[in-house]
Structures are given as structure tokens and as C-alpha cells.
Amino acid sequence: MASRGRQMLKLLLLGDASVGKTSLLNQFVNREFTSSYKATIGSDFSSKQLDVDGHYVTLQIWDTAGQERFQSLGPTFYRGTDCCILVYDVTKPASFENIKKWRNEFSLQLGLSNASDFPFLLLGNKSDLPDKAVQPSAAREFAQMNGDMIFEEVSAKTAEGVQTAFEAIVRKALEKAPAQDFVLPQSVVNIENKPAEKQGGCC
């Protein structure tokens, strides 16, 4: 029997290397955290099925590499994206300063005429660490000045705020995305909660 209808959304995680994009994905999808570090090469993909305010969603989450040579992955990779999480490390000011660059690159590749209308989430990761260098007030101001983006601080390590943040960007995307359900045919394998075979990560 085919799966019942649900809406599909594509989400991209963007940000510098080592800000914790892979750890955020792993915590959200698998509720796991590992302190070992392996750089993502190119991109990784996972999916998770959600019930957000009565909306049944299959969320495709693409974890992108933050290394310089992978920063421009091309329009084919970005095509069809419904929402984007811009991740920085609250202990590394440079990763926060580069958020504007990541947002501009995304907008350019996706061909956005008005980036302020697109569902972005500004996410400060590693809030569990004591040596915070980027204050929430600065991040909140940046978010407000750049299309009134959603802003959250989270910890991929402790899971604090992770679920709430992902649900917030899904809600925002559902406001923008057309309500089109899809049904998985019998030949399609359900890969929910299973990361791509190619391993990599930023802790």
C-alpha cells in the first residue's frame, strides 16, 4: 500500500565548516550526538517525517560542506529548496560574520528576486559552551534587518532548542509553499531517520 499523502519540503543547512551543521542534522533526525569530527565532503542528505500543527511533512534536509572549495555547489543543488537554515558558532565571530555571504550566495544560486520573502532561520549553535562571543542581541538585530528572519540559539550537543528551531522553519516554509501533497509509490524506499551512506560531519 502506498504511503498516505503528505507534503514534501526541501531544507538546506548552510554555514562555515565546523559550526555543527551535521551535528544539528543528526540530533534532529536521529536524536544522537557524537564529538568526533569528520568534514562533510560536498553534501549529505537525510529525511524526517513530521507532524507540525496538523500538517504532515516529509522534510528533506541537505547538509552542505562549509569548506571554501564547496561553497558554490551550483544551481542544480539549490533548485527546489523551500527553506534554509544559516548556521554559525556562537563562540566564533567569523562564522557569524560570514552568514551574510552564505545568504547572498544562496539567494544568487536560487535566483531569488527578494530574499526577504524567503524562509530563512538564523541559528546560533553550541549555546552550551561558556565562551560565547556572539551575543544574541547582535544576531537578533541582524535577523531583523535581513528580512525579519527567525532567530534561535541551540545546542546540537544537549539537543536544547533543536526540535523547536526546525519546527519553526517548517512552519515558516508551510506559509510560503503551495499545499501540494505527494504519495510515495511502492517502489520507493522510506529512508526516514537514515543518513546518507557517505559519512561526514561537523561537530
pLDDT in tens, 16-37: 999 999 999 999 999 988 776 5
pTM: 0.80
Q: Which residue has the higher pLDDT, 77 or 72?
A: 77
Which CATH number fits the domain 6-182, given the four candidates 3.30.365.10, 3.40.1360.10, 3.40.47.10, 3.40.50.300? 3.40.50.300
Write down the domain spans for the chain: 6-182
Rounded to a whole number of angstroms, the distance between the first and last alpha carbons of the chain is 39
CA angle 79, 186, 13 (to 5 degrees): 30
Instruction: Please choose, from the candidates 81, 74, 44, the residue with its C-alpha nearest in 3D space to the C-alpha of residue 169.
Output: 81
pLDDT in tens, 115-168: 999 999 999 999 999 999 999 999 999 999 999 999 999 999 999 999 999 999
Contact 199, 25 (CB under 8 A): no
Q: Which residue has the higher pLDDT, 63 or 34?
A: 63
